[in-house]
Amino acid sequence: MNAQHAAGDVTGQRLAVLALAALGVVYGDIGTSPLYAMKEVFAGNHPIPVGEANVFGSLSLFFWALVIVVSVKYVMFITRADNRGEGGIMALIALALHSTQGKPHQAKAIMLFGVLGAAMFYGDGMVTPAISVLSAVEGLEVGAPGLHPFVIPITLVVLFGLFFVQRSGTAVVGAFFGPVMLIWFSVLALLGLAEIVAHPAILAALNPLYGIEFLLGNKAMALMAMGNVVLAVTGAEALYADMGHFGRKPISRVWFAFVLPALVLNYFGQGALILAEPAAAENPFYHLAPDWALYPLIGLATLSTVIASQAVISGAFSVTRQAMQLGFVPRMEVQHTSEKEQGQIYLPAVNWGLMVAVMILVLGFKSSNNLAAAYGIAVTGDMVITSVLATVVVAKVWGWGWLRAAALFACFLAVELVFLTANILKIPDGGWFPLVAGMGIFVLMTTWKRGRQLLADRLQGERLELQAFLDSLSASMPTRVDGTAVFLNADPKGVPHALLHNLMHNKVLHERVVLVSVQFFDVPYVPDIDRVEVRKLKENFWSVIVQYGFKDEPDIPAALALCGEAGLSFDSLATSYFIGRETLIPRLGTDMALWREKLFVAMFRNAGSATAFFQIPSNRVVELGTQVVL
């Protein structure tokens, strides 16, 4: 599946297939929130007393949070802000940047704000697998309290298995995601419905007045409750982030027709149970199940949380690759796990780093109650950033104007800022973790971007104009040897440093020299017809500009094969690729602090090779090194 789905108006059987697939990938996170959201309100680290007003008020807040934040903001508005069918924070940044032409300061502010949102996404991605799987396995304590010592070991084993199978890809396992989540949401609805039938008065909580009265009548307690209500909308970002895979229509249809009703039924069923049996508040989700169904439900819940975690992990892979191609993270190994779907990728460094962080969270926090404090702040921070960027897009790109756009998103921001304020209170209880993780990633991403700019400026100072170089060759031509030399060249109008070093040391030029510049654009995909721009220069030099979108798969040999129509064909056995490799030396007195320079140098040293990133045959590559003082 790819962004083309978003462009077509799918109907009938195709719509049903995409809706089922979206159910498995998009709604896993928000679909597993019933495991812990209501429990956290009445039995978490800061519980509120069980009582009719509190239960009705909390349920009303849960319902209207799902309506306002998910249904209205994300489904009705944010999913319309697509970048050629693609969604997610990187697509939103690209759209917002379109409104800043000729305004570099505004562009920089939007870019930094968006990168902060991406960094918070990683913080969220660390907590989601930990809290989801741990809350599912904690169901064992409901049936047999003596199993408590085994909860964490079992959780760690499940998580290790999840991360271990990532290298095999999700194509085979993914076929089961939709059907499993179909069963999961059906079970959610049935469990809740049974309790609602027994206590139908609970449906009165649909009235927003109960939520408003609860907030106004219990201000201190209400703020704590709002910090937990946000747990019901975790995973809303996935509706937008995965839009390119399924399209807006399947995602919105399955939300309104199936997911939202199932979630509301389950939450209201839990509320009815808590009112009838206050002791059930310790784990209302599992207490909804009859005794005979407890262990099958634990198994289904564990499988569902693994699926929810899979979506977050796949999202981390996708966001990292997009950030890599937009210049915010170093090159790293990208493995393709499907011959048919280019979006199915595996990044070993991200996978194992995420696994270590998740396991540290499980071992450090020890329970889903403790992790709930760490969860909300990353989610709400991401939501606030999305709303701010979307305001820019709606005002400038959609042409609504600032007044109308601000009036619309002020409604969403009012709710989200209350969520954020409530979660700030939980920073001492664990909210610090995603903040620290997110800020750490933000520093790494901005350091890499700024460092690359600093390096480019240094190399620009040593730049030799290509036209002047070609003129000098006409006056004094060195020895030419058979074959084609391809030089990667960041500046199409300059001479690659690798070419100068080759000429200086080997005193020869190849019979044909091709200078290849790669450019990434803030669109998801560039069609093959626009992939290359070819210009013939004098002295049998050629300039080729290769263009990619931030979701395209860089492949230089494949791109060069498209040059044949312009009269530039390649014999792979007679073609050598020359790549420059810089050794960086930090120094005081530059535009970047020395500690950030040293951090950039360390990242640069450990970055993946251009050979692997651009899929160049390693046996045809010559690397030429140079030292650069930053």
Amino acid residing at 491: D
Residue 16 has pLDDT above 80, yes or no: yes
Amino acid residing at 439: M
Q: In angstroms, what is the C-alpha Rg of the chain?
A: 27
Picking from 14-28, 197-211, 482-496, 524-538, which range would have the lowest pLDDT averaged per residue?
Answer: 14-28
Share above pLDDT 90 across residues of the chain, in percent, rounded to a whole number? 35
CB 563 within 8 A of CB 570: yes
Predicted local confidence at residue 459, as pLDDT: 77
**Under DSSP, is residue 166 helix (H, G, I), strand (E, B) or coil?**
helix
Picking from 157-171, 264-278, 537-551, which range would have the lowest pLDDT averaged per residue?
Answer: 157-171
Predicted local confidence at residue 111, as pLDDT: 84
* Section 68-74 average pLDDT: 93
Predicted local confidence at residue 170, as pLDDT: 55
List, in order, residues 6 or more apart from 465 with CB less than 8 Å away. Answer: 493, 494, 495
Q: How many residues does the chain have?
A: 630
Picking from 274, 205, 383, 218, the residue whose alpha carbon sits closest to that of residue 38 is 274
pLDDT in tens, 93-133: 888 887 776 677 888 888 888 888 888 888 888 888 998 89
Residue 267 has pLDDT above 80, yes or no: yes
* Section 19-37 average pLDDT: 87
- Cα(134)–Cα(138) distance, integer angstroms: 6
At which residue do the structure tokens 């997911």 appear?
Answer: 259
Predicted local confidence at residue 343, as pLDDT: 55
Question: Which pLDDT band holds residue 556 (cuts at 50, 70, 90)?
Answer: very high
Taking 3-state DSSP, the helix, strand and coil percentages for the chain, each rounded to the nearest 5, stand at: 70, 10, 20
* Section 445-452 average pLDDT: 91
Picking from 249-258, 439-448, 456-465, which range would have the lowest pLDDT averaged per residue?
Answer: 456-465
- Cα(521)–Cα(334) distance, integer angstroms: 20
pLDDT in tens, 313-322: 887 887 888 7
Structure-derived torsion over alpha carbons of residues 277, 281, 285, 289, reported in degrees to the nearest 10: -30
* Section 472-487 average pLDDT: 89
Predicted local confidence at residue 66, as pLDDT: 95
CB 517 within 8 A of CB 491: yes
Tokens of 22: 């979206």
Burial profile 171-186: b = 16 or more Cβ within 10 angstroms, e = fewer: eebbeebbebbbebbe
* Section 66-82 average pLDDT: 90
**What is the pLDDT of the chain when averaged over all its residues?**
86
β-pairing verdict for 508-521 and 541-549? parallel
Question: Which pLDDT band holds residue 169 (cuts at 50, 70, 90)?
Answer: low
CB 101 within 8 A of CB 119: no
CB 263 within 8 A of CB 66: yes
Residue 38 has pLDDT above 80, yes or no: yes
Predicted local confidence at residue 288, as pLDDT: 94
CB 313 within 8 A of CB 354: yes
List, in order, residues 6 or more apart from 498 with CB less than 8 Å away. Answer: 487, 488, 578, 579, 580, 624
Picking from 321, 257, 275, 235, the residue whose alpha carbon sits closest to that of residue 34 is 235
Predicted local confidence at residue 33, as pLDDT: 92
Q: Which domains, and CATH codes, for the chain?
A: 4-430 (1.20.1740.10), 458-629 (no CATH)
Residue 415 C-alpha from the chain's centroid: 23
pLDDT in tens, 282-308: 999 999 999 899 999 999 999 999 888
* Section 626-630 average pLDDT: 75
Predicted local confidence at residue 200, as pLDDT: 94
Predicted local confidence at residue 380, as pLDDT: 87
**Under DSSP, is residue 627 helix (H, G, I), strand (E, B) or coil?**
strand
Predicted local confidence at residue 7, as pLDDT: 40
Q: Bridge partners of 37?
A: none
CB 492 within 8 A of CB 517: yes
Predicted local confidence at residue 1, as pLDDT: 36
Q: Where is mean pLDDT largest: 16-20, 142-146, 572-576, 624-628?
A: 572-576
Question: Which pLDDT band holds residue 145 (cuts at 50, 70, 90)?
Answer: confident
Where residue 549 falls (left for φ over 0; alpha for ψ -120 to 50; beta otherwise) is: beta
CB 315 within 8 A of CB 120: no
Q: Where are the alpha helices (DSSP H) in 549-609?
A: 556-561, 594-606
List, in order, residues 6 or more apart from 269 with CB less than 8 Å away. Answer: 191, 192, 193, 194, 195, 196, 202, 288
Predicted local confidence at residue 339, as pLDDT: 52
Share above pLDDT 70 across residues of the chain, in percent, rounded to a whole number? 95
Residue 220 has pLDDT above 90, yes or no: no
CB 233 within 8 A of CB 70: yes
- Cα(112)–Cα(89) distance, integer angstroms: 12
Residue 171 has pLDDT above 80, yes or no: no
* Section 541-569 average pLDDT: 90
The 8 Å CB, 24+ separation contacts for 553-557 are 553/336, 553/342, 554/325, 554/518, 554/613, 554/614, 554/615, 555/614, 555/615, 556/486, 556/488, 556/516, 556/518, 556/614, 556/615, 556/616, 557/615, 557/616, 557/617
Picking from 437-441, 568-572, 586-590, which range would have the lowest pLDDT averaged per residue?
Answer: 586-590
Residue 316: exposed, middle, or buried by beta-carbon count in 10 A (0-12, 13-18, 19+)?
buried
Residue 157 C-alpha from the chain's centroid: 25
